[in-house]
Amino acid sequence: MSHETATPDDTTTRSLLGYPLRRIGLYLVLGAMAAFYLIPIETGLMTAITSPETYTGTHPYLPPLEPLIPGTGEFSLQPWGTAFEGLQSGLVNSLIMVIPATILSGLLGSMAAYGLTTISWRGQIGIYILFVAGIFIPYQAVLVPLTQFWYNVVPLRTLFEPIALTLPFVQEYHWKLVALTITHVAYGLPICTLLFRAHYKKLSDEMIEAARLDGASIYRIYRRIILPLSIPMFAVVFIYQFTQLWNDLLFALTIVQFGDAAVVTQELVGIGVSQSGTNFPLRMAAALLAALPTLLVYIVFGDKFAKGVAA
């Protein structure tokens, strides 16, 4: 229990090495669960550092310690090199798409939450409900229209061509990433708005009133008071959105389809499958490589995220 002190009845009975048996049991279970959650990743990692030639698959959870333990294969970083080559353009494309989309959906979400929460006006709850409902829309329900929209209705491709020709580093196929970015911003707005709203509801009403009395306009209140106070929430929103967008497959498949603009999740699907059977080390290395950014974000910022979700 969050708040109970040591269980006094157990310290006197049934103890092992001075620690109550119950406590040991607890840690065992927790440890076992941790193992359960980590094993697939760990196995993947072990496999990914095995050279594909010597890979046997007999003890995937062990690191490659040939010839010490037969059958585990030899250590090699080659899968990573191959994986990187294969995923390279996907990684770049993902970055190009995810970073602006995350920043935009965070900013717009904060602004929307401000306009719907801190400033109160009649009917705003109705508008907000429309935002919230948007969180739960299954993406399948909009795939066909989205394809139609970006390919047949809005001539983004043709509009983008001149930009591609004039600016360096910008390729023609990047128009697909622009389309994907915009789509993701639109679909990410509901959850971002919800998160910011929860945060803004907790701000002191009197403080905002004081600011109004002090002569600050609605815009100034946002810029000088709300925005600085939103920074903790921006962290949560960015982490969440970054993960969501980096990991998305469905919209990428729909809007980018395949080709030069494919993002990392798309490229990951096909990697490692060839005529001569599956190259597991390559697959695992690729999977880990693709997952690296989000894994890192979670490990480093996991706390902040957990707090935000609890809101």
Cα–Cα dist 284/305, whole Å: 27
Per CB under 8 A, does 202 bind another protein?
no
Q: How far is CA 36 from CA 39, 41, 266, 285, 301, in A?
A: 6, 10, 27, 20, 22
Query: Site for another protein (CB under 8 A): which residue of 57, 81, 155, 232?
Result: 57
Q: Does 232 bind another protein (CB under 8 A)?
A: no
Compute the chain's Rg from CA coordinates.
25
Q: Judged by CB under 8 A, which of 24, 95, 103, 211 binds another protein? A: 211
| Cβ–Cβ < 8 Å for 109, 193 | yes
- Token digits for 190? 């509901």
Of the candidate residues 19, 37, 84, 258, the single one contacting another protein (CB under 8 A)? 37
What's the rounded Cα separation, in Å, for the pair 264 and 249?
A: 9
What residues from 69 to 128 belong to the interface with another protein (CB under 8 A)?
108-109, 111-112, 114-116, 119-125, 127-128
Does 205 sit near another protein (CB under 8 A)? yes
Burial class (CB in 10 A: 0-12, 13-18, 19+), 70: exposed
CA distances 283 to 81, 100, 248, 267, 294, Å, are 12, 29, 19, 11, 18
As beta bridge partners, residue 15 has: 20
Residue of the chain from 24, 156, 216, 235 that contacts another protein (CB under 8 A): 216
Least CB distance to another protein at residue 161 (A): 23
Q: How many residues bind another protein (CB under 8 A)?
A: 121
150 near another protein, rule: CB under 8 A: no
Q: Smallest distance from the beta carbon of 164 to another protein, in angstroms?
A: 24
Q: How far is the CB of 45 from another protein (least distance, A)?
A: 10
Cα end-to-end distance, the chain, whole Å:
21
Residue number, 99 or 253, with CB nearest to another protein: 253
Query: Is residue 26 close enough to count as binding another protein by CB under 8 A?
Result: yes
Kindly state the helix (H) or strand (E) to which residue 16 belongs, with its residue range.
strand 15-16
Candidates 26-34, 73-81, 157-165, 168-176 — which segment interacts with another protein by CB under 8 A?
26-34
In the complex, least distance from residue 78 CB atom to another protein, rounded to whole angstroms: 18
Where do the H-state alpha helices sit in 114-217? 124-133, 143-148, 156-166, 174-201, 205-213
Does residue 154 interact with another protein by CB under 8 A? no
Map residue 262 onto helix, strand or coil: coil
Q: How far is CA 125 from CA 121, 128, 197, 203, in A?
A: 9, 5, 12, 18
Residue 32 near another protein by CB under 8 A: no
Q: Which stretch binds another protein (CB under 8 A): 12-20, 74-82, 167-175, 198-206?
A: 198-206
Among 82, 102, 183, 241, binds another protein (CB under 8 A): 183
Q: Tell me which residues in 246-265 interact with another protein (CB under 8 A).
A: 246-250, 253, 265
Q: Which is nearer to another protein, 31 or 81 (CB)?
A: 31
